[in-house]
Amino acid sequence: MRMLRPTLVVLALPPLLMICAFFVAPLAFLFVISFMTPSPEELFQYQVTIGNYLALAQDSFYWLILQRTLVTALIVLGTCLLLGYPVAVVVSRMTPRKRLVMLMVLLFPLMVSNVVRAYGWITILGREGLINVTLVDMSLIPYPLRMLNSAGAVGAGLLTILLPYMIISVANTLAGLDKSYQEAAQSLGAGPVRSFIHVTWPLSSPGVAAGLSLVFFLTLSAYVTITLLGGPRFKLLVSLVYDSVTTLQWPKAASLSFVLLAFALIVGALIQAGLRPQRVQGKG
Amino acid sequence: MTDDTSDVRFASASKRFGRTMAVRDLSLAIPRGAFFALLGPSGCGKTTTLRMIAGFETPTSGNIFIRGENVTRVAPYRRSFGMVFQNYALFPHMSVAENVAFGLKMRHISRSEREERVREALAIVQLNQMADRYPKQLSGGQQQRVALARAIVIKPAVLLLDEPLGALDKLLREEMQVELRSLQKSLGITTVFVTHDQEEALAMADQVAVMRAGEIEQIDAPGAIYERPATEFVASFLGASNFFDGEIQSVSGDRVRIDIGGSVIELPAVGVPRSGRVKLAIRPEKIKLAPAGQGRPGQTIAAVIREVVYKGPTTHVIMDRSGTAFSGLLQNDATRDWSPAPGMVVDCAWAESSLVPMKSA
């Protein structure tokens, strides 16, 4: 391994210390709490137990939420990739100037608060919302559909937040690809489809992996969107963490947090293992 | 017109990008087995010409034929060509062997034959031991060989090289020039390569086409194009040239007398107009310099040395003749018994074949 220059170490030190003091240490403490015994009088009792995790493992409601979280996240990931990749291809072929404008346009929705956007969806999907009112007025449906508090509502809400992340990371990778790779594939007899499968797709894997990871991590923690659009009927893992904290079940909240973290790490690792972006990255 | 002996043929092909004509009404036949160089400054249309053979650019008008087949509207991946890109464009996620096998795989060639042909191709470029390496583990020269192996393994009708040696250092470049040429000869594969390096074109090609502003100025064998450049552009782009403005004085039989600013010289009347003005080019190394009074009259002009530049094996002499500067070259061998110095008057002599009349533009 190469030694870093002292100036670089000095520059990196303050943020590293910050992260240690305000992230790593609390996380370690949280880990400890997850093994503490719940207590009716205090937040928790200093007595080591694996009961919190066992309780989760035996709770069928928890397993339902876990499964639902996974399915929702996978649907969001798949939809983001399917909708985002073609847009990224178009954006990456623009002139640098147009691309910059386009990326700003894509980022624009992110400038609106998640809360505002969730309420926006409520006015569209709600019982008295735009879609229901229109359909009822046109007598296409006899009474309003229940669209809120469902997987669809949460999915739609998450997509509008997360799609830009996917598009931007893929578009940046594609824009950085030398077009001679595709030409080389064509010169060797690969048509558009096979050229995409064998060359463009693997070469874009760093952007796809980054985009998928971002989208997945943000899906896991998108509390506002999940709560406002999922309501009490459609809870995900992050909702359970919040509910446990507000009901002062700290050890349970802590153990759920680590399940969430493990979830993120496992899927993150699977994304890396599946796409192997390191194959096309770096020199030497 | 059908021409069975040409592997690549352009028939009045033009390519326009917006308002610029990159290639203008190009007609050109590249014979089977030739090593053909497209030489010219950047923006002269040489790369566009190459890319039209590949199909990466479609001509705005005119047609292109590969082995007699009109491929003008045929997609690149349905044409028979191999290409070595300037940056090699090796697929970073594939090993050397996988890179070379790619074209065979796309052509649905069986695994066993594929392995056999990859081995052969890698043997040709002497990289058999590197089959399992990845491109980023190879040196620039090795990457270039892999790119070459990948292009020839599919046995294309024509091999296209886009500034193939541009990314290599000087020593390796000269080595690869020799290697590429002998490889091309032994495979007998029709090769078109683009370069802005005149030495590279002269060293490697059988035929050199000098391009300028979308048009071919001259096509000839390296020797001919250097010794008998047709235009002022070719004469100055390929090596250094001196130019003399001449006035035709008289024509008698097959000889012509030309006045070049005070001195009258005689030339064969080939490629020279009957009357009026003509521009003559001569290479610096073709001018024989001697101290004044030793030259032969009729083919000799006097000049004053302005500057002397010592360059190791040669000495460059900048001279002045009635206000026009021109340069000569002296070999620094032991047989020369005089040394040029500024202010010295010298006689300049040359063989009459060294003085090349330029086609008027």
Q: Is A187 left (phi over 0), alpha (psi -120 to 50) or beta?
A: alpha
Would you give the DSSP letter of residue B323? T
What does residue B43 show for φ and ψ, rounded to 5 degrees? Answer: 85, 10
User: ipTM for the complex?
Assistant: 0.85
Of the partner residues A187, A199, A283, the one whose CB lies closest to the CB of residue B76: A187
Closest C-alpha among A89, A271, A84, A99 to residue A196: A89
The per-residue pLDDT for range B341-357, each reduced to its tens digit, is 999 999 888 888 888 99
Residue A2 lies in a domain: no
In Å, how far is A195's CA from the nearest CA of chain B? Answer: 10
Residues of chain A with pLDDT under 70: 1-3, 282-284
pTM for this model (two decimals): 0.85
Residue A32 lies in a domain: no
Residues in chain B: 361
Question: A185 in contact with B at a CB cutoff of 8 Å?
Answer: yes
Q: Which residue of B has its CA nearest to A278?
A: B93
pLDDT of residue B260: 84
In Å, how far is B174's CA from the nearest CA of chain A? Answer: 25
Between residues 11 and 40 of chain A, which touch chain B (CB distance below 8 Å)?
none
SS3 state of residue B116: helix
d(CA B195, CA B111): 37
SS3 state of residue B281: strand
The per-residue pLDDT for range B158-183, each reduced to its tens digit, is 999 999 888 788 888 888 899 899 99
- Cα separation of the two ends of chain B: 29
CB B290 within 8 A of CB B319: no
SS3 state of residue B71: coil
Centre a 10 Å sphere on the Cβ of residue A251 and count the other Cβ atoms it contains. Answer: 24
DSSP string, B234-252: HHHHSS--EEEEEEEEEEE
Residues of B in contact with A95 (CB under 8 A): none
Q: CB A180 to CB B137 under 8 A?
A: no
Residue A236 lies in a domain: yes
Question: A282 in contact with B at a CB cutoff of 8 Å?
Answer: yes
If one counts the domains in chain A, the total is 1
pLDDT of residue B1: 46
d(CA A171, CA A102): 11
| Region B239-256 average pLDDT | 88
Q: CB B106 to CB A190 under 8 A?
A: yes
In Å, how far is B214's CA from the nearest CA of chain A? Answer: 23
Q: CB B106 to CB A189 under 8 A?
A: yes
CATH of the domain at A101: 1.10.3720.10
What does residue A204 show for φ and ψ, rounded to 5 degrees? Answer: -90, 0
Residue A34 lies in a domain: no
Of the partner residues A180, A189, A284, the one whose CB lies closest to the CB of residue B103: A189
d(CA A205, CA A199): 10
Residue-wise burial string across B236-252, b where 16 or more C-beta atoms lie within 10 A, e elsewhere:
ebbbebbebebebeeee
SS3 state of residue B333: coil
Q: What is the dihedral of CA A146, A148, A154, A158, to 10 degrees?
A: 120
Q: Beta partners for B160? A: B83, B192
Question: A202 in contact with B at a CB cutoff of 8 Å?
Answer: yes
Residue A176 lies in a domain: yes
Question: A95 in contact with B at a CB cutoff of 8 Å?
Answer: no
Range of the domain at A140: 49-281
CB A184 within 8 A of CB A229: no
The per-residue pLDDT for range B73-86, each reduced to its tens digit, is 999 999 999 999 99
- Strand B263-268 relative to strand B255-260: parallel, antiparallel, unpaired? antiparallel
Question: A98 in contact with B at a CB cutoff of 8 Å?
Answer: no
What does residue A244 show for φ and ψ, rounded to 5 degrees? Answer: -65, -40
The per-residue pLDDT for range B283-333, each reduced to its tens digit, is 999 998 888 876 555 567 888 999 999 999 999 999 998 888 889 999 998
Q: CB B103 to CB A186 under 8 A?
A: no
Q: CB A185 to CB B75 under 8 A?
A: no
Q: Which residue of B has its CA nearest to A178?
A: B89
pLDDT of residue B4: 63
Closest C-alpha among A129, A127, A151, A118 to residue A223: A118
- Strand B324-331 relative to strand B288-291: parallel, antiparallel, unpaired? unpaired
Residue A6 lies in a domain: no
Q: CB A284 to CB B106 under 8 A?
A: no
Would you give the DSSP letter of residue B89? -
Residues of A in contact with B47 (CB under 8 A): none
Residues of B in contact with A282 (CB under 8 A): 136
Q: CB B76 to CB A186 under 8 A?
A: yes
Query: What is the residue whose two structure tokens read 């650019």?
Result: B57
What does residue B33 show for φ and ψ, rounded to 5 degrees? Answer: 85, 0
Question: A188 in contact with B at a CB cutoff of 8 Å?
Answer: yes
pLDDT of residue B95: 95
Residues of A in contact with B160 (CB under 8 A): 187
Residue A216 lies in a domain: yes
pLDDT of residue A242: 93
The per-residue pLDDT for range A85-134, each reduced to its tens digit, is 999 999 999 999 999 999 899 988 888 998 999 999 999 999 889 999 99
Residues of A in contact with B75 (CB under 8 A): 186, 191
Of the partner residues B54, B92, B107, the one whose CB lies closest to the CB of residue A280: B92
Question: A128 in contact with B at a CB cutoff of 8 Å?
Answer: no
Q: CB B83 to CB A189 under 8 A?
A: no
d(CA A127, CA B185): 79
Residues in chain A: 284
What does residue A25 show for φ and ψ, rounded to 5 degrees? Answer: -65, -50
Q: Beta partners for B84? A: B161
Greater pLDDT, A166 or B239:
A166
Listed in sequence order, the DSSP H helices in chain A are 6-19, 25-33, 51-58, 60-92, 96-107, 114-125, 130-137, 151-176, 180-187, 192-195, 201-203, 205-221, 223-230, 237-246, 250-275
Side-chain-side CA neighbours of B59 within 13 Å: the count stands at: 26
Q: Which residue of B has its CA nearest to A181?
A: B89
d(CA A205, CA B164): 29
B84, B86, B102: best mutation site toward chain A, by most A Cβ within 10 Å? B102
Would you give the DSSP letter of residue B24? E
pLDDT of residue B276: 86
pLDDT of residue A145: 87
Q: CB B77 to CB A198 under 8 A?
A: no
Residue A20 lies in a domain: no
A183, A186, A187: best mutation site toward chain B, by most B Cβ within 10 Å? A187
CA B257 to chain CA centroid, nearest Å:
33
pLDDT of residue B306: 94
Greater pLDDT, B24 or B275:
B24
Q: What percent of chain B has pLDDT over 70?
A: 97
Inter-helix orientation angle B111-124/B96-106, to 10°: 130
B→A interface, C-beta within 8 Å = 54-56, 75-78, 81-83, 85-87, 89-93, 102-103, 106-107, 136-137, 150-151, 154, 160
| Region B186-205 average pLDDT | 93
Torsional sign, CA B333, B337, B340, B346? negative
Residues of A in contact with B85 (CB under 8 A): 180, 183-184
B80, B84, B85, B91: best mutation site toward chain A, by most A Cβ within 10 Å? B91
pLDDT of residue A284: 35
CB B160 within 8 A of CB B4: no
